Structure 1
Amino acid sequence: MVLRQKRLLLAVDGSERALQTVRYAGEEDAFKGMKIVLFHVFNSIPDAYYDLEKEPKSVKVVTHVRSWEAQQKKKIRKYMDDARQMLLDAGHAEAAVEVKIQNRKKGVARDIIIEAQKGYDAVLIRRRGATALKNIIVGSVTNKLLEKLSFIPLLIAGRKPINKKVLVAVDGSPCATKAVQFVADMLGPLGNYQVKLVHVVRGEASDLEAFRENGNTTFEPVFRAASNTLTAAGFNPQAISTKTLIGAISRAGAIVKAAEKEGWGTIVVGRRGLSRVGDFFMGRVSNKVIHAGRKDTVWIVT
């Protein structure tokens, strides 16, 4: 039986920040062997604008606009070729790297989501792109993807150096279980990654009491199931550790702090946890992790 090659949609916007994401994709062993599609949504001039050519006084202006658009297309083609070469230089096979430039149709985020529906296993992007304001942690396109891309994992590249240490937040929810499985599928066959499974209990008395009643201050059944999933995929049992953090003010803050303190390079969270609110577009913890760990690489698994 021939296994299907996994496919990664790497969305880039022509910025230097996006090139840093390409470098991340080249250096991260998890993506080796995957089909990587470098995808750019080009903001072309609306067709309606060219109706001005029918007006004699506007012909010169339209000519300048056409020239500008041609230059922008040339620049982005050069950018995409350079991005592709970066992946090739990092060891990816030529046949495994594809460049796709598409004129904007419904909006950048929506066009990425439509493309993502075509048989990809994950989408990789950066928090901010070319036009992001300095103090904005998450750019508008990434924010829209966080809200709407709910059918495959969204991987957000950070600025921290890559290492082979992955922290996975678990809470017994279906999304957390899928997060563990995603890590197992992506990293287990490589055999050289460490994983820490972390469960966080906030400090409110009701939560602590419920935790004691349900788990006797331990989370062992869930930890055991997650560890079994990882070892079945190829992880060395000695490379798997667990930790329960009790009494945290913020679950997201505790997760990010643990990753920072112990040098875990990637944080993996389920898109939604065991929330009492059913209609959130994504869990409060996963959303806060993205903002609190502003330099971290975060994988969000749905």
Structure 2
Amino acid sequence: MMNSNRKKILVALDGSSHSFDAVNYLSHMLPRHDTSLVLFSVYSGRPERFRDIEESLFMDPKETGLEEWENQQKKAIGEFMENSRQVFLDRGFPPDAVILKIREKETGIARDIIREAQSGYDAVVAGRQGMNPITRLVIGSVAAKLIASLTDVPLWLVGSCATDAAKILVATDGSENALQAVKYVGRMMSGSDVPITLFQVIRGFDFRLPGPDAYFFKPPDGAAWPDESREAHTVRAAFEKAVVALQAAGIDPVRITTKIVSGVATRSGTIIAQAMTGGYGTIVIGRKGHSRVGDFHMGRVTNKVVQLAGKAVVWVVS
């Protein structure tokens, strides 16, 4: 039985290399002492194209080899899941903290994952792409469905993590949704030693604040704040709230840095560029920002970051 005080993570696995990337990412990223994982796989059974063979009056299903094929599929996913569990055990996760769930598809792979996700998880983790061989797709069909429908549980989409995954870039915009994303990072990373950077992008004009990037809102010892614009005051206040929230969650202040970039044409492109040049393997962003348009399940900047992230991991926080 899982400890109810642990953070509970649902990891959707399908036997693909991307889903095994998710296993490796989580095994290095998550604190071992207070995290529980459910490794969850939905398998399709016999493909739809074989249904007609089953129903044919002129063919014996046993002679077609379908039953043997299905048994081999079950065996393969079982071995994959056991290997995935072993990765976590080798990293020091307690055996009772890593549970396997393997189920045959009921209503659809994405829908079955979403149904399981409603059982009190702190995050759902999936690979950006699965077994789909159409590599030109930016994200796989299951990942796209999870993004569209899983609006109440944070979703982590894992790429190949070629950069340093154990560095987190938190995109902020001063909104309440962004602050909630910061608090979420604090809760999930409490107990780890992962460095966290709060990052804000301001478009269209040159925006400057005194002090170094690392703690630009903090004046030198003994100095007073100079006169500042309304924009500078707003951004400084938002960063101060975010830092306080991380510290309240138990994040060591030495692990927290801040950075702001201004005068750029695109927020999403700048976030991706910062992640790439700064070696951040994890990008965290709120599902919605300042936009008050309630008809959309995800903000424009968030959607672009998800599409452009490539190898990085993106946490979409509701």
Cα deviation, 1:222-278, whole Å, max 9, x if unaligned, reads: 101110011112222233222222222111111111122222231110011111532
How do 1:74-113 residues align onto structure 2 when only pairs under 5 Å count?
Answer: 74-113=75-114
Given the alignment of the two structures, is residue 257 of structure 1 paired with residue 273 of structure 2, yes or no?
Answer: yes
Residues 77 and 219 of structure 1: CA distance in aligned 2, closer, same or farther (over 3 Å): same
How do 1:150-299 residues align onto structure 2 when only pairs under 5 Å count?
Answer: 150-158=151-159, 159-190=161-192, 192-203=193-204, 214-216=230-232, 219-299=235-315
Per mean C-alpha deviation after superposition, the further-off stretch among 123-132 and 22-31 is 22-31
User: Where does structure 1 lack aligned partners over 5 or more consecutive residues?
Assistant: 206-211
Q: 2:51, 2:308 → 1: CA distance?
A: 45
For the residue of structure 2 that corresponds to 1:82, the secondary structure is helix
**8 A contact 1:24–1:162 mirrored in 2:** no
For the residue of structure 2 that corresponds to 1:219, the secondary structure is helix
Q: CA RMSD in A?
A: 2.5
Given the alignment of the two structures, is residue 144 of structure 1 paired with residue 114 of structure 2, yes or no?
Answer: no
User: Where does structure 2 lack aligned partners over 5 or more consecutive residues?
Assistant: 207-227
Shift of 1:18: 1.4
For the residue of structure 1 that corresponds to 2:59, the secondary structure is helix
Q: 1:163, 1:51 → 2: CA distance?
A: 46
Q: 1:298, 1:244 → 2: CA distance?
A: 20
For the residue of structure 1 that corresponds to 2:58, the secondary structure is helix
Q: 2:265, 2:246 → 1: CA distance?
A: 29
Q: 1:153, 1:77 → 2: CA distance?
A: 27
Q: 1:147, 1:270 → 2: CA distance?
A: 14
For the residue of structure 1 that corresponds to 2:65, the secondary structure is helix
Q: 2:68, 2:33 → 1: CA distance?
A: 39
Letter in 2 for 1:281: H
Letter in 1 for 2:183: Q
Per mean C-alpha deviation after superposition, the further-off stretch among 27-36 and 116-125 is 27-36
Q: 1:121, 1:112 → 2: CA distance?
A: 14
**8 A contact 1:168–1:180 mirrored in 2:** yes
**8 A contact 2:163–2:279 mirrored in 1:** no
Q: 1:204, 1:275 → 2: CA distance?
A: 20
Cα deviation, 1:16-56, whole Å, max 9, x if unaligned, reads: 22112111121113465311111111102389x88977865
Counterpart in 1 of 2:135? Answer: 134
